[in-house]
């Protein structure tokens, strides 16, 4: 299995809703990433989990709450979002060894719209 | 904030033309540089990983070079085909190998 699966593909939520995005991989990768991508911009790093521990938080607002319950699963919990948070949220995984040579494997993304 | 810049931002070429793009990055704290291709409605896919100054990588008609001392990488496409149309992203690996920061991207359209 060489895939990263993201659900849902599309999500529409109001500013008072609580929802979650889910990401799953079964490649044995030990590093997992959340990126946010707005139209005509490159993916912007949000969080990195390494061996199920949060290792990088790029000063993301607390209305985004990541969770890594096990080595195969990564969630992004959403609460009290703003319309400007509407974007494509990409999950990626990577082998966890200490090497810059390991590439990211991406999921297809979750398109979020905040009304 | 790491500035990883790519140029040009977009490019239209005729089928059969050769083309190249640039990725510029801060050369301090360098671990590796990745190149990815991102086709519309698909996920980004890795093309190359480059780690050493002077690295040259090739896959079919696409090749890349790396200069870590001056902080740039070039991606070349020889004899562009319509299926090469995509956004090409470079990504700098830094910060203890975990941080992967994407460049601004070059959107290529190959006209048949």
For the CA atoms of B99, A93, B7, B54, the dihedral, rounded to the nearest 10 degrees, stands at: 70
Q: What is the pLDDT of residues B31-56, one digit of tens each?
A: 899 999 999 989 999 999 999 999 99
Question: What is the chain A residue with the closest CA to B39?
Answer: A108
Is the model's pLDDT at B11 over the cut of 90? yes
Q: Which residue has the higher pLDDT, B94 or B107?
A: B107
Q: What is the pLDDT of residue B28?
A: 84
Reading the block at residue B36, the tokens are 């990815």
For chain B, the residues whose C-beta falls within 8 A of a C-beta of chain A are 31-32, 34, 36, 42-46, 49, 51, 89, 91, 93, 95-105
Which residue among A41, A42, A108 sits closest to B43, beta carbon to beta carbon?
Answer: A108
Residue A65's CB is within 10 A of a number of other CB atoms, namely: 15
Predicted pLDDT at B110 = 97
What rounded mean pLDDT belongs to chain B?
A: 94
Structure tokens at A21: 């995005």
Range B84-111 average pLDDT: 93
DSSP state of B42: S
Mean pLDDT over B57-63 rounds to 97
Query: Average pLDDT for residues B64-77, to the nearest whole number?
Result: 96
Contact A42 B49 (CB under 8 A): no
- Give me the residue label for tokens 């993301």: A60
Task: Kindly give, in sequence order, each residue whose CB lies less than 8 Å from that of residue A91, ignoring residues fewer than 6 positions away.
Answer: A4, A6, A21, A23, A32, A33, A34, A35, A74, A106, A107, A109, A110
pLDDT digits (tens, 9 = 90+) for A44-88: 999 999 999 999 999 999 999 999 999 999 999 999 999 999 999
The rounded mean pLDDT for chain A is 93
Distance from CA of B39 to the nearest CA of A (A): 11
Q: Are A45 and B99 within 8 A, CB to CB?
A: yes
pLDDT score for A29: 93
Cβ pair B97:A100 closer than 8 A: yes
pLDDT given at position A3: 92
A26 half-sphere exposure, CB direction, 13 A CA radius: 2
Mean pLDDT in residue range A14-27: 95
Please, what's the largest Cα pairwise distance for chain B?
A: 43
Q: CA B75, CA B58: separation in Å to the nearest integer?
A: 10
Residue A59 DSSP one-character state = S
Lowest mean pLDDT among A76-85, B28-37, B78-87, B100-109: B28-37
pLDDT of res. A84? 96
Q: Is 70 exceeded by the pLDDT of residue A97?
A: no
> Do the Cβ atoms of B104 and A42 come within 8 Å?
yes
Of A1-5, A34-38, B62-66, least confident by mean pLDDT is A1-5
Question: What pLDDT is attached to residue A9?
Answer: 96
Nearest CA in chain A to B52: A101
Quote the percentage of chain B above a pLDDT of 70.
Answer: 98
Q: Report the b/e string of A37-53 with b at 16+ CB within 10 A.
A: beeeebbbbbbbbbebe
| Residue A98: predicted pLDDT | 67
- The shortest C-alpha distance from B109 to chain A (Å) reads 15
> Chain A window 52-71: which residues touch B at a Cβ cutoff of 8 Å?
55-56
User: Could you give the CA distance from residue A107 to residue B108 in angstroms, rounded to a whole number?
Assistant: 22
């Amino acid at each position: 299995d060489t895939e990263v699966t993201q659900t849902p593909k599309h999500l529409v939520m109001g500013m008072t809703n609580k929802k979650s995005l889910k990401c799953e991989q079964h490649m044995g990768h030990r590093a997992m990433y959340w990126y946010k991508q707005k139209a005509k911009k490159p993916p912007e790093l949000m969080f990195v989990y390494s061996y199920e521990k949060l290792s990088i938080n790029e000063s993301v607002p607390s209305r985004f709450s990541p969770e890594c319950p096990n080595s195969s699963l990564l969630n992004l919990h959403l609460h009290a979002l703003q319309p400007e948070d509407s974007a494509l949220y990409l999950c990626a995984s990577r082998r966890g060894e200490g090497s810059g040579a390991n590439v990211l494997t991406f999921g297809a993304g979750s398109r979020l719209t905040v009304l | 904030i790491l500035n990883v810049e790519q140029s040009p931002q977009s490019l239209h070429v005729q089928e059969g033309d050769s083309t190249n793009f640039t990725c510029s990055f801060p050369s301090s704290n360098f671990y590796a540089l990745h190149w990815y291709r991102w086709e519309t409605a698909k996920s980004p896919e890795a093309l190359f990983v480059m780690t050493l100054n002077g690295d040259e990588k090739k896959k079919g008609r696409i090749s890349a070079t790396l200069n870590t001392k001056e902080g740039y990488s070039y991606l070349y496409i020889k004899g562009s085909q319509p299926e090469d149309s995509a956004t090409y992203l470079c990504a700098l690996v830094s910060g203890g190998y975990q941080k992967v920061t994407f460049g601004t991207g070059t959107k290529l359209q190959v006209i048949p």
